[in-house]
């Protein structure tokens, strides 16, 4: 990212993860510490953040074994505060989440795909975002083509404010932004007619 001159912050397990994220969120709310000129915040990735937070929670509570009910509950609370906080901010908010496929589904045509994510937040994360896209890179000889597939409504109980095309080739943020704005304008126009 530094080559593209995009401002970024790296967070790892050597720092106080939750406090650091909440301080970043506070700076974003107050539009200071570099957020003055920013339109979009990207969290890459939610599943990695959840792992860091869970490790931190276990360390705070002196638990070196497996996470128990209380630790999973605390992880859910912290992840909800972080994601909801960024969504409620004035910025465009994009988050990446890895996918996990069960080992016994690897050779099946119909794979059971879930979010590669620790804890209970996995069951509600799709509700947090306006739409979800599966990203895929396909090798075409010497070049790589990128595709985004809109998520079907019955997968992960995703909600969408707008209907996205089934497939997008080489999607850009501008293209997605235009589709969302167009969809919202059409919904607003439709509600005026009722």
Cα separation, 71 vs 19, whole angstroms: 17
Average pLDDT value for residue range 4-18: 82
In angstroms, the Cα distances linking 158 to 2, 36, 126, 178 are 33, 32, 5, 21
pLDDT tens-place string over residues 40-49: 888 888 888 9
Q: Which residues contact 109 (CB under 8 A, 6 or more apart)?
A: none
Is residue 13 domain-shared with residue 75, that is, in the same domain? yes
Whether residue 4 is found in the same domain as residue 44:
yes
Q: In degrees to the nearest 10, what's the CA dihedral of 116, 119, 123, 127?
A: -90
Q: Name the residue range of residue 141's domain.
A: 131-194
Same domain, 125 and 160: no
Give the model's pLDDT for residue 114: 60
User: Are 95 and 15 within one domain?
Assistant: yes
Query: In whole angstroms, what is the distance from residue 63 CA to residue 10 CA?
Result: 26
Q: How many domains does the chain have?
A: 2
Both 153 and 98 in a single domain?
Answer: no
Considering the domain architecture, whether residues 72 and 155 belong to the same structural domain is answered as no
Residues 62 and 95 occupy one common structural domain: yes
**Residue 136 and residue 109 share a domain:** no
The distance from CA 118 to its chain's CA centroid, rounded to whole angstroms, is: 14
190/185: higher pLDDT: 185
Last-in-domain residue among 129, 144, 171: 129
Where among 129, 154, 171 does a domain terminate? 129
Q: Are 146 and 101 in contact (CB under 8 A)?
A: no
Exposure string for 68-91, b = 16+ CB within 10 A, e = fewer: eeebbebbbebbeebbebbeeeeb
pLDDT tens digit sequence for 100-159 = 666 665 566 655 556 666 666 766 666 677 777 777 788 888 888 888 877 554 454 455
Structure confidence by residue, pLDDT tens digits, 59-98: 988 876 788 888 888 998 998 899 889 888 888 888 887 7
What ranges make up the beta strands (E) of 102-187? 113-115, 133-140, 143-150, 167-169
Confidence band for 23, pLDDT divided at 50, 70 and 90: very high
Contact 57, 71 (CB under 8 A): yes
Last residue of a domain, one of 106, 129, 152: 129
């Amino acid at each position: 990212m530094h080559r593209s001159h995009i401002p970024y912050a790296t967070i790892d397990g050597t720092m106080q993860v939750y406090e650091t994220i909440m301080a970043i969120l506070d700076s974003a709310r107050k539009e200071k510490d570099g957020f003055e000129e920013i339109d979009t915040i990207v969290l890459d990735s939610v599943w990695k953040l959840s792992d860091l937070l869970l490790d931190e929670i276990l360390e705070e509570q002196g638990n070196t074994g497996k996470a128990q009910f209380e630790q999973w509950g605390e992880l859910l609370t912290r992840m909800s505060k972080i994601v909801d906080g960024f969504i409620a901010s004035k910025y465009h908010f994009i988050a990446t989440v890895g996918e996990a496929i069960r080992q016994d589904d690897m050779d099946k045509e119909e794979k059971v795909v879930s979010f590669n994510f620790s804890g209970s937040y996995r069951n509600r994360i799709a509700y947090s975002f306006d739409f979800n896209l599966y990203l895929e890179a396909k090798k075409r000889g010497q070049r790589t083509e990128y595709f985004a597939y809109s998520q079907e409504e019955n997968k992960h109980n995703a909600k969408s404010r707008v209907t996205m095309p089934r497939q997008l080739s080489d999607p850009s943020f501008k293209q997605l932004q235009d589709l969302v704005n167009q969809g919202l304008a059409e919904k607003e126009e439709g509600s005026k007619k009722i």
